[in-house]
Amino acid sequence: MENFIINHQNELLATLITVVVLFIIKFISSKTVRKIGRISDIVEARTILITKYISASLMFIGLAAMSFIWSVNLKDLGLLFSSVFAVIGVALFAQWSILSNITSGVILFFSFPFKIGDRIKIMDKEILEFEKENHGIFIIEDIRAFHVHLRNPAGELLTYPNNLMLQKAVSLLNNYDDAYEDSDAL
């Protein structure tokens, strides 16, 4: 064991520095995300979700850094990653909307154009046809990683994908506590 420590002193020091730096970055980014969430009045569950995304990204960066520090054979590592990414690529190609919805959820978190409780109108042809009597007006009930829960005046719950919130025109209407009680507002 002592021989290993003596022979790999530089690698061990670089590993320690990398781990400390990653923990500091994770701490700072978590504090920043929580502060943005608190300032923007964003639900705690969304803040926790974004923090998990950042932690997973930092872990991936840390593993990449460790492989360079310990001089892992890039040819073997490249073969491993290409095999893994090929399998993941096929799976994501079949379910590309999952990745798109997660990315949209992160964008919605940081750009925060909509909050829970906001009254919105979705300018989607299919929604407007389906919701003729409500004119596509909804109240945002919850914003999740993959979708947004919208409630119409009739009390029906619509699950709307996050990527469509970014692709379709969405108008933010005046928020009234009694949005569904005042028929003139709709």
pLDDT at 162: 87
**Quick check: pTM over 0.75?**
no
Q: Which of 140, 139, 133, 145 is nearest to 183 (CA)?
A: 133
Q: How far apart are CA 119 and CA 159, in angstroms?
A: 15
Query: What pLDDT is attached to residue 94?
Result: 57
Can you give the pLDDT of all 186 residues of the chain as single tens digits?
788 888 888 999 999 999 999 999 999 999 999 999 888 888 888 888 889 989 999 998 998 888 888 887 777 777 877 888 777 776 666 567 777 888 888 888 777 678 888 899 888 888 777 777 777 789 999 888 888 999 988 888 999 988 888 888 888 887 554 444 444 444
Asked: is 95-186 a CATH 2.30.30.60 domain? The reply is yes
Contact assessment for residue 103 and residue 89, using Cβ atoms and an 8 Å cutoff: no
State the pLDDT at residue 182.
46
DSSP 137: E
Q: Residue 186, exposed/middle/buried by CB under 10 A (0-12, 13-18, 19+)?
A: middle
Among 89, 22, 13, 83, residue whose Cα is nearest residue 58:
22
